Structure 1
Amino acid sequence: MNMIARRTAALFFGMLCTPLLTFAAAPQPTHEFTLDNGLKVIVREDHRAPVVVSQLWYKVGSSYETPGQTGLSHALEHMMFKGSRKLGAGEASRILRELGAEENAFTSDDYTAYYQVLARDRLAIALELEADRLASLKLPADEFKREIEVIKEERRLRTDDKPSSLAYERFKAMAYPASGYHTPTIGWMADLERMTVEELRAWYEAWYAPNNATLVVVGDVSASEVKVLAERYFADIPKRAVPPAKIPLELDAPGERRITLYLKTQLPSLMMGFNVPGLATADSPSQVHALRLIAALLDGGYSARLATRLERGEELVSGASAWYDAFPRGDSLFVLSATPNVQTGKTLEQTEAGLWRELQDLQRNPPSAEELARVRAQVIASLVYERDSITSQATTIGQLETVGLSWQLMDQELAALEAVTPQDIQNAATTFFTRDRLSVAHVLPEEKRDE
């Protein structure tokens, strides 16, 4: 569900909250088992339609990469469609299209995943194709030569020629001084230029092992039938030793960092980020759930604080947002962004001061019980609507498992959000919104450089 849809759903929390919580309180039957070769399999039953989603998740992404070899995880994702022992380049995708299936893949800092959505009676085909490329990827040199040019063009279109993406990439590289999260998922262009197919082969052999993967199947299936299929197609793939992968940890107090970027943009903008833990690294889970609710307090729709106070009230900004990823495998960022209201003559410095006022208000004054209840209901409504999708259910399970958490947290997080108190909100704001955790990026139009 996209952000607009989430916010639209959240507007109806008042009349929908009670039945939604009732629905959420009864999680779907979920089963877990592990093959002898180490492949973990998680099956979640959802029998509302004769459809199934199959996802294979690998514990490897850009945070696993080292300087000079960035972009390997994403490039390998592209090459996984370029042929295996049984099929030539693109043939697996053609077979799935002819079956009416939806398929794709994605890479992030922490994982790479491949998925198919298809009729339940076609699941065996999807698993056979997935197991084949896990066991016998070809990586032909001529296909790599063509595909690396596709990846470089993707980088140009999505990052280098897109000011907002380029600004965030530079900001993120500064905001994560100690961990692999400073590496862009697509890789730096200089590393793409010198990447070799031999490097990709070594990356595949290092990380693409059944004991480094999780198979997630959600939909109109039973655990017993998935187990039969998983054994049939995956059990003969041998386990291999996998390199150690340490959790990406950040400095507790890196010190205030600043960058000014002059880009091809018409309006100035601002990003502020605070180094904070994720659920995998927090001292207490309540800190993480408090940060999730703080993001919603600040930026949870029309009645949120940034929109009410800074946009419509002071007319300081023309737009502002807050977001936080609670589920990386290491430490995280709490990010605020805003565009000054240039029509009222507001500056980046004034905007930054306004954002600080909102954070300091949280530090001095816990939210009222009524405001927290409203925001929490919005967050829970959004989560419940999102989880109505079998694809979203599978993705949540896969992400949790692959970052080192448990899929069971998916069925526990609503209760965890309910347990957050106004004092938890104030404590999290006081602990984490400090200048020694702060990174700031000022983004200005190129023509301002000479002024």
Structure 2
Amino acid sequence: MNISRSTFVLSFIAWLPLVATAATNPTTQDFVLDNGLKVVVREDHRSPIVTAQLWIKVGSSYEPPGQSGLSHALEHLVYKGSSKACAGEFAHILKKLGASQNAFTGTDFTFFYQTLPSGRTGVAFEILADLMSTAKLDAQDFTPELKVIQEERRMRVDDEITASAHERLNSIAYPASGYRTPTIGWMHDLQRMNAVQLQQWYQAWYSPGNATLVVVGDVVPERIKELAQQYFGHLEKRAIPAVPAPVELASAGERSLVLHAPISSPRLIMSFNTPSLATAQNRRSAHALRLLNVMLAGSESARIKQQLQLSEAIFTDVQAEYDAFNRGDSLLTISTQLNPDKLNDADEASARLWQVIDSLKSKAPDPAELERAKNILIANSVYAQDDVEAQASTLGLLETIGLDWRLADQNTDELNRVTPQDIQNAAITFLTHERLSTAKILPEKNNG
């Protein structure tokens, strides 16, 4: 299953009020096998279940030009048979155990998981180790599965104008890095992909030293060490290709594109090049961007929503996204749909958005406004702690993008240090025309 940066949202432990302190953090340990596999174990005994997630450090940002889509296609093919099971057999075993499973590919990762009764953790480990090391990747399975992926692309991207616009906007918003590559792959690359490329990709990246096994739930760390050694310890240690983090041009210059589609009103997307937690010179600036995103359009009380959607009604929809959890640089993106009864000009809509953005540059926000933004991150993080899969995903993602899983517990203090002045500085530094890429989606002209 492909999962894009815009939909893959992992909650992160955020600001916690008063009584919730670092002392309440769950017990977490890590260790590394001799073959390089890192294992992170978090105890959560509230329910007799466990999730085991295997994170591979490879995604679409690793793919060279002309070979887009390899990571996602490989995620599909590893389920088609291995040394221990034929296609569908592992899924049948897990279903009988009442387990759930899935896999996802992103720009920086591919991960597989099973969630099942804690007494069956060894089953998950055996399956994950086998998928990682002995997938058959038969050529006879390749062609029909590739057709499935091509149809997935048609349905999710080519036939969806907003998804297509975001994909094309990324291609100009990331002029210097692999983040311009769509996770599902360009159609022309999918049409010329072959099974040999897939087998080579598997051998290059699916190595213990390029993976993190995250286990969260009703477990005992000592037992997890035994199981990890039993099922993963024999896997061969191999060299891993060196790939630098996707770092962008700080000031690439203003870029734009225009698309026409059978829609009733214009849509406007604005993306600003920004650092992530992994690339920021000071993580505090990345945390300020997280909060700035919420204050602009990431909540119902946000400035753009309140002023331009709810009050003046020039937009019927406003969304904001900033992904701080990349191994490379990121984007802060504001997406809008115009209300044709109030405004039907994308250029004028852009000017109105700039007025709101500039208001944060000219004056730091009130502490109360910043506090509301922090409280929104609180809710997401608190709810996530009731879900073993969400907890594991946070830990796994941090490790996979080159950060330490311990940041999940340190993040409370780091967010608390963000001040109104930090928000203003982030707006002045990063929300500039030199960092801006814009996509306008306009109604098709009637030539009749």
What TM-score do you get using the length of structure 2 for normalisation?
A: 0.95
Q: Which residue in the other structure is 1:360 paired with?
A: 358
Partners of 1:317 and 1:346 within 8 A in 2: no
Q: CA deviation at 1:95?
A: 1.0
Q: Which amino acid aligns with 1:193?
A: Q
Looking at secondary structure, tell me which structure has more helix per residue: 1
For the residues of structure 1 that align with 2:193 and 2:338, how far apart are their CA atoms? 41
Partners of 1:84 and 1:132 within 8 A in 2: yes
Question: Which secondary structure state, in structure 2, belongs to the residue aligned with residue 309 of structure 1?
Answer: helix
For the residues of structure 2 that align with 1:346 and 1:290, how far apart are their CA atoms? 33
Q: 2:193 aligns with which of 195, 200, 206?
A: 195
1:406 correspondence with 2:380: no
Q: 1:273 aligns with which of 265, 271, 274?
A: 271
Q: Which residue in the other structure is 2:78 paired with?
A: 80
For the residues of structure 2 that align with 1:109 and 1:129, how far apart are their CA atoms? 24
Q: CA deviation at 1:365?
A: 0.6
Distance 1:445 1:346, change over 3 A: closer
Q: Which segments of 5 or more consecutive residues in structure 2 lack a partner in the other structure?
A: 1-5
Q: 1:370 aligns with which of 359, 368, 371?
A: 368
For the residues of structure 2 that align with 1:444 and 1:326, how far apart are their CA atoms? 30
Partners of 2:268 and 2:335 within 8 A in 1: yes
Q: Which amino acid aligns with 2:84?
A: K
Q: 1:186 aligns with which of 184, 187, 191?
A: 184
**1:44-443 alignment to 2 at 5 Å?**
44-443=42-441
Segment drifting more, 137-146 vs 195-204: 137-146
Question: Which secondary structure state, in structure 2, belongs to the residue aligned with residue 407 of structure 1?
Answer: coil
Q: Which amino acid aligns with 2:345?
A: T
For the residues of structure 2 that align with 1:384 and 1:245, how far apart are their CA atoms? 35
Question: Which secondary structure state, in structure 2, belongs to the residue aligned with residue 104 of structure 1?
Answer: strand
Q: CA deviation at 1:24?
A: 6.5
Identity %: 49
Q: CA deviation at 1:191?
A: 0.7
Q: CA deviation at 1:316?
A: 1.9
Segment drifting more, 346-355 vs 282-291: 346-355
For the residues of structure 2 that align with 1:17 and 1:179, how far apart are their CA atoms? 35
Q: CA deviation at 1:17?
A: 6.7
For the residues of structure 2 that align with 1:194 and 1:17, how far apart are their CA atoms? 50
Partners of 2:298 and 2:321 within 8 A in 1: no
Q: Which residue in the other structure is 1:27 paired with?
A: 25
Partners of 2:107 and 2:183 within 8 A in 1: yes
Question: Which secondary structure state, in structure 2, belongs to the residue aligned with residue 342 of structure 1?
Answer: coil
For the residues of structure 2 that align with 1:266 and 1:138, how far apart are their CA atoms? 49
Please list the CA deviations of residues 252-294 of structure 1 after superposition, one character each: whole Å capped at 9, or x if unmatched. 1110001001123332100001111001110111110000001
Question: Which secondary structure state, in structure 2, belongs to the residue aligned with residue 259 of structure 1?
Answer: strand
Please list the CA deviations of residues 64-84 of structure 1 after superposition, one character each: whole Å capped at 9, or x if unmatched. 001110100000000110111
Q: Which segments of 5 or more consecutive residues in structure 1 lack a partner in the other structure?
A: 7-12
Alignment coverage as a number of residue pairs: 438
Partners of 2:52 and 2:115 within 8 A in 1: yes
For the residues of structure 1 that align with 2:300 and 2:393, how far apart are their CA atoms? 28
Distance 1:418 1:408, change over 3 A: same
Question: Which secondary structure state, in structure 2, belongs to the residue aligned with residue 258 of structure 1?
Answer: strand
RMSD: 1.9
For the residues of structure 1 that align with 2:314 and 2:282, how far apart are their CA atoms? 35
Q: Which residue in the other structure is 2:3 paired with?
A: none
Partners of 1:17 and 1:381 within 8 A in 2: no
Partners of 1:256 and 1:438 within 8 A in 2: yes
Q: Which residue in the other structure is 1:36 paired with?
A: 34
For the residues of structure 2 that align with 1:405 and 1:113, how far apart are their CA atoms? 17
Segment drifting more, 235-244 vs 370-379: 370-379
For the residues of structure 2 that align with 1:412 and 1:17, how far apart are their CA atoms? 11
For the residues of structure 2 that align with 1:168 and 1:17, how far apart are their CA atoms? 34
Question: Which secondary structure state, in structure 2, belongs to the residue aligned with residue 137 of structure 1?
Answer: coil
For the residues of structure 2 that align with 1:402 and 1:119, how far apart are their CA atoms? 26
Partners of 2:320 and 2:334 within 8 A in 1: yes
For the residues of structure 1 that align with 2:33 and 2:49, how far apart are their CA atoms? 24
Segment drifting more, 339-348 vs 366-375: 339-348
Q: CA deviation at 1:345?
A: 3.4
Partners of 1:109 and 1:181 within 8 A in 2: yes
Partners of 1:58 and 1:113 within 8 A in 2: yes
Partners of 1:298 and 1:304 within 8 A in 2: yes
For the residues of structure 2 that align with 1:301 and 1:249, how far apart are their CA atoms? 29
Partners of 2:266 and 2:337 within 8 A in 1: yes
Question: Which secondary structure state, in structure 1, belongs to the residue aligned with residue 20 of structure 2?
Answer: helix
For the residues of structure 2 that align with 1:120 and 1:312, how far apart are their CA atoms? 48
